[in-house]
Amino acid sequence: MKLTRTVVMPAVVLATLVSGAGTALADTPPPVPLPRLPHVSLPPLPQLPDLAAAPVPTALTPPTLPAPPRLPALPQVAPVAAPALPALPALPAVTPPALPQLPQLTPPKPPGQPGGPQLLPTATDVAQTAWPHDEAKRTAFVEAANEVTKGFANGGLMSVMIGANLGSVVGCVSIFPNFMAGCILGTGIGAATGLVVGVQKGNPKAQPAVENFLKVMEADPLGR
């Protein structure tokens, strides 16, 4: 059905246009006859010269140019002698002064090394101050401090940080709602526990050295 409409509508439009055009042609009046133009005769064209018979020059003669005007002679200029320059005075002999001898400078030793400035008191200084007359306690304290320092350098700091974080979390959760006190206590306890575990893992000799120092202190706790 749609195809029939699509074909019929253009056919109807085309038939309408054709019938209208036929009606318009039938009503058109006949054309008016044009008047006949008179016959005009054109004059003949003039005869062109024969170029082939004209002579062709074989060489071109350059035109004669007039002679250039004579320039006037330039006046003679006498050379000017250069003036004599006065002689420069002789400069006095200058003897440079002797440089002063600089003192011999010795670079300072970095802090912490023997002979250099100490930022913090060493274990030997603390032992000498605490037990100036007890060689056994001084030796045991210095040995324990050195071993603990080695263990702290070999992983104790990381253990302290881990223990402080874990203790803070556990303390904040355990003592609720007073979580501030729990966080502080948990951080301190965790840091101390991490320090002990980290030093012991970093240097196994630290624990025997500390136990030896405690035994020496138990033998004479108040003696110096």
Query: How confident is residue 20, by pLDDT bands cut at 50, 70 and 90?
Result: low
- The structure's pTM equals 0.44
Tokens (6 digits) for 106: 């010795």
The phi and psi torsions of 223 (rounded to 5 degrees) equal -75, 155
In a domain, residue 183? The reply is yes
Residues 6+ apart with CB under 8 A from 165: 190
Q: Which residue has the higher pLDDT, 171 or 179?
A: 171
Query: How confident is residue 82, by pLDDT bands cut at 50, 70 and 90?
Result: confident
Print the domain residue range for 144: 123-219
* Dihedral, CA of residue 223, residue 138, residue 130 and residue 120, to nearest 10: -170
pLDDT of residue 192: 85
d(CA 80, CA 82) in angstroms, rounded, equals 6
Asked if 130 and 220 touch (Cβ cutoff 8 Å), the reply is no
Asked if 158 and 197 touch (Cβ cutoff 8 Å), the reply is no
In a domain, residue 93? The reply is no
In a domain, residue 57? The reply is no
Q: If residue 181 lies in a helix (H) or strand (E), which one and from where to where? A: helix 179-202
The phi and psi torsions of 130 (rounded to 5 degrees) equal -75, -40
Asked if 204 and 157 touch (Cβ cutoff 8 Å), the reply is no
The phi and psi torsions of 103 (rounded to 5 degrees) equal -70, 150
In a domain, residue 155? The reply is yes
Percentage of residues in the chain with pLDDT exceeding 70? Answer: 75
In a domain, residue 26? The reply is no
Asked if 152 and 196 touch (Cβ cutoff 8 Å), the reply is no
In a domain, residue 156? The reply is yes
The number of beta carbons lying within 10 Å of the beta carbon of residue 179 is 14
Asked if 186 and 197 touch (Cβ cutoff 8 Å), the reply is no
Q: Which amino acid, 152?
A: F
The phi and psi torsions of 82 (rounded to 5 degrees) equal -70, 140
In a domain, residue 137? The reply is yes
In a domain, residue 67? The reply is no
Domain count, the chain: 1
Query: How confident is residue 126, by pLDDT bands cut at 50, 70 and 90?
Result: confident
